[in-house]
Amino acid sequence: MNIYKFRFDCECPNNNERIQYSVEISTTRTVMVENIAAHFLSLTSAFHEDIADEAFQKFGGHQVIKAHHHGVDVETRRGDQ
C-alpha cells in the first residue's frame, strides 16, 4: 500500500476565505507526487465535496480530505478502504 499525504489551500466559493486542506491518498498503484501537487495546487475556488469527487476521479484509491471550514471540521472519504 502506498500512502501519499499533501497539504494545500483553496478559496471558499461562499466568502472567498482561504481554507487549508490535507489529503491522504492510499493506493496499491504508484502515483507521481508531481501529479498530486500539480492537481491540488491548481485549485483556485471549490467546495470541499467537489474537491474530493474530482480527486477521486483522477487518482482513485482510498482518499480522506480534511479541512476546518469556519469553525466546522469537515472530512470527506472516497473509495474503498
pLDDT, block means (10 residues), the chain with 81 residues: 97 95 97 98 96 97 96 94 59
Q: Nearest CA to 79 among 28, 34, 8?
A: 28
Please give the pLDDT value at position 70: 86
pTM: 0.92
State residue 31's pLDDT score: 97
- Is it true that domain 2-78 has CATH number 3.30.1130.10? yes
**pLDDT score, position 58:** 97
Edge-to-edge order in the sheet of strand 18-27: 2-11, 18-27, 62-69, 72-78
Q: What is the pLDDT of residue 80?
A: 76
